[in-house]
Structures are given as structure tokens and as C-alpha cells.
Amino acid sequence: MAKTVTMRIDDNTYNLIKNAATGERRSISNFIEYATMAYLAEESFISDKEMDEILNDKDLLVNLKNGNEEIESGKYRIIE
């Protein structure tokens, strides 16, 4: 179900958003939703460089493997 969000922004920010929305032929509300989703999608992925760093860090890979094995065997506890 759609939600209504109220936010306060300064005039310069509003004008930037309004101009961008107009350029995309979107309403301001739709543009804010679109831009937010695009940002979140972009931030959900890592770059090839960062993935190479992860895959080449042998200690990290061993720790991740051990952690995964502990989870699968139930050797963990949730701390709240």
C-alpha cells in the first residue's frame, strides 16, 4: 500500500528536484521515488575492484567460510 511522506527541503533543493523531474517528464513525487530506488539499487552492488579485493583476501574468505559453517551447524547466538 502506498504511503505518504512529508519532508522539508530548502528552496534550492526543491528547484533542483523540480527541474530534474521536469527533465524526466515525471511528477516531483515520482522523481523522488525513482531517484531513491536508483540510488538504493546502485548502492546494493559492489564494484569489480571491491569484489576482487574480497576474493583475494584469504583470511577474510576463511573467516566467511567458518562463519557460514557455524551458522549451518547452529553454533551461533543472536544478541539483541
pTM above 0.85, yes or no: no
pLDDT in tens, the chain (80 residues): 889 999 999 999 999 999 999 999 999 999 999 999 999 988 888 889 999 999 999 999 999 999 999 999 998 888 88
- How far apart are the C-alpha atoms of 17 and 15, rounded to whole Å? 5
Secondary structure, 3-state, the chain: CCCCCCCCCCHHHHHHHHHHHHHCCCCHHHHHHHHHHHHHHHHCCCCHHHHHHHHCCHHHHHHHHHHHHHHHCCCCCCCC
Structure-block grid coordinates of residue 20: 530534474
Q: What is the pLDDT of residue 76?
A: 83
Q: What is the pLDDT of residue 77?
A: 85
Q: What is the pLDDT of residue 60?
A: 96
Q: Distance between the two ends of the chain, CA-based, in angstroms?
A: 30
Q: Which residue ranges make up each domain of the chain?
A: 11-43, 46-80
